Homo-oligomer: A and B are copies of this chain.
Amino acid sequence: MNQDATEQRVLGAVGERRELVNAAIDEDLPMAEPKRLYEAARYLLEAGGKRLRPTVTLLAAEAVSDVEPLSADYRAFPSLYDEPVDVMAAAVSLEVIQSFTLIHDDIMDDDDLRRGVPAVHKAYDTETAILAGDTLYSKAFEIMADTGAHAENGLEAVRMLASTCTRICEGQALDVQFETEGDIDPDQYLEMVEFKTAVLYGAAAATPAVLLGADDEVVEALYRYGIDSGSAFQIQDDVLDLTVPSDKLGKQRGSDLVEEKETLIALHARQQGVDVDGLVAATDPENVTDAEIEDAVAALEAAGSIDYARETARDLTEQAKSRLEILPDNEARSLLEDIADYLITRGY
C-alpha cells in the first residue's frame, strides 16, 4: 500500500463530493425562524469539516448498487424497488447528528473551541446551544424519514438512526464514568469508543444499504466496517496525541497525558506496571514542557503501549476492509477500503 497515493485518492473522493454535501446540508437544513436558533444550529455545519462521513455514505450507496462513482444522482439513487432513494439525505441526516453531538459535548466538556471557531455555547450562550442541538436532533430525523425509500426500509433507517443516537449518549456517559472510576480494561475502553465514536461510522456505511433494500448480511457487513474503522480512527487519535509535534497537531502534544485521559495506551501501560498518572507532573497543558512529554512517551514506548495501540488500530482496519468482501468488487468499494487505511495513516 502506497500511503501517499491512498491519501490522495481519499482526499480526491472527499473533495469531489464536498460541495454536493454542503449544498445538500443547506437545502435540507435551511435558515428558518426563529433566526437566532437556526443560525446557532447551522453554525458548526457552516464552519466546515472534511465531510468524510457523508463520503462514506455516498460511496457505500455506490458500492452496494455497483454503480460507477458519481454517475448516479444522489438525490434520486436507483434502488431495488421502484422508488429512487435520496441517499444524500441520509448523509446529511448523519452529519446533522454529528453536529448536534459536538454542540452538546462542548457544553458538557466546557470546551471553548471547535473547528477553529468558538464553540456554539461560547459564540451564543448555553441555553441557545442546548436548544440548537435539540433542533438538529429532530431535524436529522425529519430528514432521514424523508428519503423516499420504500417505507419498510425508511422506517428501518430511522430505527438505526435512533439506536445510534442512544449508543452515542451511552458512550459519552461511559467516557465520563471511566474518567472518575479508573480501573477499566481495554475491552471496556473499546466498547466505549465503539459507542461514542464508531457507531456513527457504522450508521454512515450501513444506512444506504438499508434504504436501498440490500440484504441483511450486506447491511451488517457495512455496519461492522464502520464500527471497526471508526474505532481504529479513535485509537489512532490517541497515538497521534503522543507522536505528532504540537504545531502540526494544533494543540499541546501529550495533552491526553496531562489531562490523565483514559486511552488504550494508558490502560495498556498501567497493565504493564507503568505509573501512568505520575508520568507528567503538570496538570495543565499550558504548563507542561516538551522534555517532560518526551520522557513520558519514551516510557510508554518502552512498555510497548504505543505499539500495542498502533497494532490494535491496524488489526481493526484490516478487519474493516475484510468486511467489504461481501460487496461487488468495484471502484466505490475500493475507495471505502482506502478510507479505512487513511483513517489510521493520516498524519494528524
Contacts and interface: CB of A to CB of B under 8 A. Distances in A.
B134 A145 contact: no
A325 to B, nearest CB: 31
Contact of A142 (B152, B166, B172): B166
Interface stretch (A153-161, A250-258, A303-311): A153-161
B130 A107 contact: yes
Interface string A168-191: 011011101100000000000000
Contacts of A32: 170
Contact of A138 (B104, B139, B163): B163
Nearest to A143: B162
Interface in A126-168: 126-128, 130-131, 133-135, 137-139, 141-142, 145-146, 150-152, 154-155, 158-159, 161-166
Interface stretch (A33-41, A224-232, A287-295): A33-41
A108 interface: yes
Interface residues on A, range: 35 or more
A137 B133 CA distance: 11
A108 B169 CA distance: 20
Interface of A: 32-34, 36-37, 104, 107-108, 126-128, 130-131, 133-135, 137-139, 141-142, 145-146, 150-152, 154-155, 158-159, 161-166, 169-170, 172-174, 176-177
